[in-house]
């Protein structure tokens, strides 16, 4: 042994470097050979550059900033509806197969760890990989987001819409340009924080609508793709002092500080309530619920839940409403028809109507669904893993344990389901409903199956209650906003438009001038 150690020490550095380099080269070549010719997925078609490892995906996602989705589109055109997107994951572009991947049945389906690792919230329901644990955690939260519970939240939504209208009035009086993304984001953040934490943060009072939650979400999207490949980045950021994080990503530092502030406030509120049936908020109610195991109702775990729900429901819902308004303002005939339908409702103060009454309006429903479709929602892949059963697609057998995904982008743009898919056409939903066609099953902004977004009832309630009032109460005109501010060309969790000179990054805000305010007669 001593002679061997001495011999190793006497190896020249150049020789050692050559041996190490050669070892890596052999390992790399063997991995490439295995992934192409010996891997259990070897019979699934795809680009060999994608199959050999994560390199092609890394290049298009990290270096080119969220461009891999469109590379997948090219691969599907070349290889067909089923492809390997990397060595271990399959992507299927087939709307009829979506519900098989994102199943609501009894089949055990995990989330792909690569999907959730970027956020480092393993204790939140949305970040839970294992099927059974997710089902338990989802069960604890379901009562707080049921249709009945959300319907009871209408006064809160109306209160926040009234506040939003007061801010819109300010912009009109001062002849200031209004960011619809900003005002809608503040509104949705107030509603969600009120539901989860028991009180809102009054983000609608922030002068420029740039607040912690919104800027924090945008900050996280900047590192999302890199964090998917290197999850330890987010873990490391959470362990650093806020001052250090602020130097790297200021918005994320503010977000972590907000989490601690809410933690202290939430704990105090819980101690003050001392009731096991408190419904003041999801946080307080869950903390006090004796039916939830104590290890699942810690403040830290529930705060992770809150941040995920706040993120998931704020930017996505607000962007959908802003984009919907863009299309309505770009299509005056659609706006006119929507207003005519809304005028069939009984007169009311400030155009306030119940959610039930609004849900019965077919054209408004079509407008909301079409807005959702063209906004796409989260478009980055979110793979599912059938843990115990093989899946069959055509002649292909997909082994159990294989991550399989289908992007919302491909669902909403599939010509067989949505002809002329780039066209804003609320009538397609009206006609489908009249003909008994369930077109809604192809609307996947909220994902699907047992892991469908828990806040979808709240999101729909906000869209109905907000858009119905804003559309009737104000006359807007687009200001320096075109289709280029809406068309998605970058995928960072959600979609962003192409960078435009003179505008902030890829935000593509929908900006308007307020021409007039309409006063309700009742």
- Contacts of the segment 396-404: beta carbons below 8 A, 24+ positions apart: 396/43, 396/44, 396/82, 398/41, 398/44, 398/90, 399/40, 399/41, 402/40, 402/41, 402/88, 402/89, 402/90, 403/88, 403/89, 403/90, 403/112, 403/114, 403/115, 404/89, 404/90, 404/91, 404/92, 404/101
Q: Which of 435, 319, 428 is nearest to 363 (CA)?
A: 428
C-alpha dihedral (199, 202, 204, 210), degrees to nearest 10: -110
Enter the DSSP assignment of 519. P
Tell me: is residue 244 an annotated ligand-binding position: no
The distance between the two most distant Cα atoms of the chain, rounded to a whole number of Å, is 99
Q: What's CA 61's distance to the chain center, in Å? A: 17
SS3 382: coil
∠ CA 74-76-78, nearest 5°, is 75
Q: What's CA 281's distance to the chain center, in Å? A: 23
Per the CB < 8 A criterion, the answer to whether 181 and 517 are in contact is no
Per the CB < 8 A criterion, the answer to whether 304 and 337 are in contact is no
In whole angstroms, give the CA distance from residue 54 to residue 35. Answer: 11
Per the CB < 8 A criterion, the answer to whether 115 and 382 are in contact is yes
Neighbouring CB atoms inside 10 A of 86's CB total 23
Pairing of the two strands 384-386 and 494-496: unpaired
Residue 105: HSE in the Cβ half-sphere, 13 Å Cα cutoff: 7
**What residues form DSSP beta bridges with 474?**
517
Per the CB < 8 A criterion, the answer to whether 51 and 36 are in contact is yes
In whole angstroms, give the CA distance from residue 448 to residue 392. Answer: 19
Enter the DSSP assignment of 97. G
In whole angstroms, give the CA distance from residue 235 to residue 238. Answer: 5
Produce one character per residue of 276-305: b if its CB has 16 or more CB atoms within 10 Å, e if not.
Answer: eebebbbbbbbbbbeebeeeebebebbbbb
Binding residues for heme: 453
Binding residues: 453
């Amino acid at each position: 042994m001593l002679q061997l150690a001495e011999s190793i020490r006497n190896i020249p550095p150049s020789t050692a470097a050559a041996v190490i380099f050669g070892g890596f080269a052999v390992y790399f070549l063997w991995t490439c050979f295995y992934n192409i010719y010996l891997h259990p997925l070897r019979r699934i078609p795809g680009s060999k550059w994608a199959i050999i490892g994560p390199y092609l995906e890394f290049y298009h996602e990290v270096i080119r900033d969220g461009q891999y989705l469109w590379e997948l589109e090219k691969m599907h055109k070349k290889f067909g509806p089923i492809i390997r997107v990397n060595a271990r994951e399959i992507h299927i572009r087939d709307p009829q197969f979506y519900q098989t991947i994102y199943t609501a049945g009894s089949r055990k389906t995990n989330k792909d760890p690569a999907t959730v690792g970027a956020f480092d919230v393993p204790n939140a329901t949305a970040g839970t990989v294992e099927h059974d644990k997710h089902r338990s955690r989802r069960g604890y939260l379901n009562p707080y987001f049921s249709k009945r519970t959300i319907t009871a939240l209408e006064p809160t939504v109306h209160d926040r819409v009234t506040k939003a209208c007061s801010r819109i009035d300010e912009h009109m009086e001062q002849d200031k340009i209004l960011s619809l993304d900003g005002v809608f984001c503040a509104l949705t953040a107030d509603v969600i924080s009120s539901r989860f934490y028991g009180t809102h943060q009054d983000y609608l009072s922030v002068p420029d609508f740039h607040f912690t939650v919104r800027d924090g979400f945008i900050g996280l999207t900047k590192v999302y793709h890199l964090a998917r490949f290197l999850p330890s980045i987010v873990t490391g950021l959470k362990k650093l002092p806020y001052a250090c994080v602020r130097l790297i990503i200021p918005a994320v530092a503010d977000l972590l500080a907000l989490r601690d502030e809410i933690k202290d406030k939430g704990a105090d509120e819980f101690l003050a309530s001392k009731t096991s049936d408190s419904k003041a908020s999801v946080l307080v109610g869950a903390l006090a619920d004796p039916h939830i195991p104590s290890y699942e109702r810690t403040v830290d775990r529930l705060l992770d839940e809150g941040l995920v729900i706040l993120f998931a429901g704020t930017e996505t819902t607000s962007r959908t409403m802003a984009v919907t308004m863009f299309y309505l303002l770009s299509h005056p005939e659609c706006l006119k028809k929507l207003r005519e339908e809304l005028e069939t409702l009984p007169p009311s103060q400030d155009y306030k109507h119940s959610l039930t009454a609004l849900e019965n309006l077919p054209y408004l429903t079509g407008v909301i669904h079409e807005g959702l479709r063209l906004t796409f929602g989260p478009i980055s892949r979110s793979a599912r893993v059938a843990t115990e059963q093989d899946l069959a697609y055509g002649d292909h057998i997909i082994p159990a344990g294989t991550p399989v995904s289908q992007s919302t982008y491909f669902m909403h743009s599939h010509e067989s389901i949505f002809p002329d898919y780039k066209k804003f056409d609320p009538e397609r939903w009206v006609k489908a409903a009249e003909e008994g066609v369930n077109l809604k099953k192809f609307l996947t902004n909220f994902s699907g199956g047992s892991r469908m977004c828990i806040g979808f009832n709240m999101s729909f309630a906000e869209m109905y209650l907000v858009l119905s009032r804003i559309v009737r109460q104000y006359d807007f005109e687009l200001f320096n906003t075109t289709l280029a501010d809406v068309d998605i060309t970058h995928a960072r969790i959600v979609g962003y438009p192409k960078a435009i000179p003179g505008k902030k990054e890829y935000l593509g805000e929908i900006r308007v001038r307020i021409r007039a305010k309409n006063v309700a007669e009742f």
